[in-house]
Amino acid sequence: MEATRVIRFYESAEDYRVLSDGGYTLNVAKKVVGTSGRSSNIIWKTLPLTPRLEVSWKAKYALCWTVQCPTEGDAFSVLGTWQPCDFGESYDLSEDGLWQPSIIVGDQTHLNVGEVLFKYPDHSGGIHIVIGIMDAITKRYEAIYVDQAGILPGGSAKYQPNGNLDFWYEAKTSNDSLSSSAQTSVGHVDTSVRGATGKHEWWITLVTGTGRWEVSSTAPRTC
C-alpha cells in the first residue's frame, strides 16, 4: 500500500499574528519534470491561515487534459477524465478524448502519453496534459502540473513527478482599480525519502523575523 505523505505547518503565536494581520494564505506547489524541465507551474493547494495546517497525499498519479494554458495562480478546468498512471505505463488519448492503454512502450521512470489522437473542436493549439496526484483524505486526484506545450494529434509526451514541494505565504489586496500581492520567501522540502521517524512526514514553520523556513522530520515540542 502506498504510504501517505504529510507536511504539517505550524507557527508561533507571534509569527501567526504577523501572518494573520497581513491577510496571508498558504500556497503549496509540487514539482514535475516535463517537456520544459523541472517545474511547479500551478498552485496545488491554497489554504486559509490557521495556527496548524496539514497537507496529505499519496504518491499515486493520474493523467488528464485541458485546452487552457493557465499562468501560475490562475484557475482552470480539466476537460477529460482522470486516468490513473504508474511510472512506466503508457496511455493514448483516443479520437474521442478518452484514455486507452498504448502499444507504445513507455519510459519506465515516467508517466507516458504514447500518442494523442484527439483534436478539440475549433481549437488549433493542441491539448495540454495535466498531471494529478491523489489527496489522502478525499481520495480524489488534484492537478499539480499543466504542460505549457500544446500537443497536436500524433504527438506524445512523458512526465516525471518527484517528491519536491515548494510552499509560501501570500497576501493579495485589491480595490476598485488596483490589486497587489505580497509574498514570503519560498520554502522547499524533498518528500521522496522517509524522515527520522521512519515515515514520510515533516513539520514546517516560517520565522517571520528572518524570512527563513525551518523544516524538520521530527515533531517540535510545540506540536
Residue type, 55: V
Could you tell me if residue 221 is inside a domain?
no
Show the cell assigned to 14.
507571534
Show the cell assigned to 213.
523556513
Could you tell me if residue 179 is inside a domain?
yes
Q: Which of 68, 61, 96, 102 is nearest to 82 (CA)?
A: 61
Could you tell me if residue 109 is inside a domain?
yes
Show the cell assigned to 15.
509569527
If you ran DSSP here, which 8-state letter would residue 139 be given?
Answer: -
pLDDT attached to residue 76:
78
Q: Tell me the sheet residues that pair with 90.
A: 112
Q: Is 54 exposed, middle or buried (0-12, 13-18, 19+ CB in 10 A)?
A: middle
Most distant CA pair in the chain: distance in Å?
A: 58
Could you tell me if residue 222 is inside a domain?
no
Residues of the chain with pLDDT under 70: 1, 38, 71-74, 173-180, 222-223
pLDDT attached to residue 110:
97
Domain count for the chain: 1
Q: Is 13 helix (H, G, I), strand (E, B) or coil?
A: helix
Could you tell me if residue 125 is inside a domain?
yes
- 181 half-sphere exposure, CB direction, 13 A CA radius: 10
Could you tell me if residue 223 is inside a domain?
no
Could you tell me if residue 197 is inside a domain?
yes
Could you tell me if residue 123 is inside a domain?
yes
Q: Are 193 and 163 contacting, i.e. CB atoms less than 8 angstroms apart? A: yes
Q: Whole domain around residue 212: which residue ranges? A: 4-216
Please name the residue that has the C-alpha cell 485546452.
67
Strands (E), 35-186: 37-39, 45-48, 52-66, 83-84, 90-93, 99-101, 111-116, 128-135, 141-146, 157-174, 179-183
- pLDDT of 189-211, one tens digit each? 999 988 888 999 999 999 999 99
Contacts 24+ apart (CB under 8 A), 90-98: 90/114, 91/63, 92/116, 92/117, 93/65, 93/117, 93/118, 93/127, 94/118, 95/119, 97/65
If you ran DSSP here, which 8-state letter would residue 198 be given?
Answer: S
pTM: 0.91
What is the rounded CA–CA span in Å between residue 116 and residue 118? 6
Number of neighbours of residue 216 by Cβ within 10 angstroms: 15
